[in-house]
């Protein structure tokens, strides 16, 4: 049995590299909030986003299968001398159910191990 390497996609077949992830709880709702940061998007390089179908969600894939989440917000942060250089993309979504949270954490564990990321509490 071959294992599927963990991956993140906004567009079908374009694999993104996660730069940072922040996990917290909402002040009012007590929902779990995931904030993912991407310093670069492969989908924007060479206008790949125009040649691949949008998933209309964030697709997280690993050996357990697929997790499809709809971000509650996505921010494109620009900077540079002219203010037109993409600095990073911040994507945020909420997880309410405990079993969904546990599944997401298993994905993150696999993703972090496969990409030499470290958890800092």
- DSSP letter string, the chain: -PPPPPEEEEETTEEE---EEEEEE-TTT--EEEEEEES--TTTGGGGGGTS-EEEEEEEEETTEEEEE--SEEEEEEESSSS-EEEEEEEEEEE-SHHHHHHHHHHHHHHHHHTT-----
pLDDT band at 1 (very low <50, low <70, confident <90, very high): very low
Structural domains of the chain, count: 1
User: What are 71-92's pLDDT values in tens digits?
Assistant: 999 998 999 898 888 899 999 9
Residue 23 domain boundaries: 7-114
| Cβ contact 58:91 at 8 Å | yes
Residue 49: predicted pLDDT = 62
Residue 100: predicted pLDDT = 95
Q: Is 28 within a domain?
A: yes
Q: Is 121 within a domain?
A: no
Is the pLDDT at 118 greater than 60? The verdict is yes
Q: Is 35 within a domain?
A: yes
| Cβ contact 118:112 at 8 Å | yes
Mean pLDDT rounded to a whole number for the chain: 88
Q: What is the domain-level CATH number for residue 77?
A: 2.40.30.220
Among candidate residues 84, 87, 105, the one with its CA nearest the CA of residue 40: 87
Q: Is 1 within a domain?
A: no
């Amino acid at each position: 049995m071959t294992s599927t390497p963990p991956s993140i996609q906004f567009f079908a077949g374009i694999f993104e590299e996660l730069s940072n992830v922040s996990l917290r709880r909402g002040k009012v709702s007590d929902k779990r909030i995931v904030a993912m940061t991407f310093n670069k998007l492969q989908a924007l390089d060479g206008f790949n986003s125009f040649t691949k179908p949008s998933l209309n969600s964030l697709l997280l894939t690993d050996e357990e299968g697929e997790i499809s989440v709809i971000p509650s917000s996505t921010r494109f942060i620009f900077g540079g001398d002219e203010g037109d250089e993409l600095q990073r993309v911040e994507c945020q979504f909420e997880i309410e159910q405990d079993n969904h949270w546990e599944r997401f954490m298993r994905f993150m564990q696999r993703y972090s191990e496969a990409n030499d990321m470290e958890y800092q509490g």
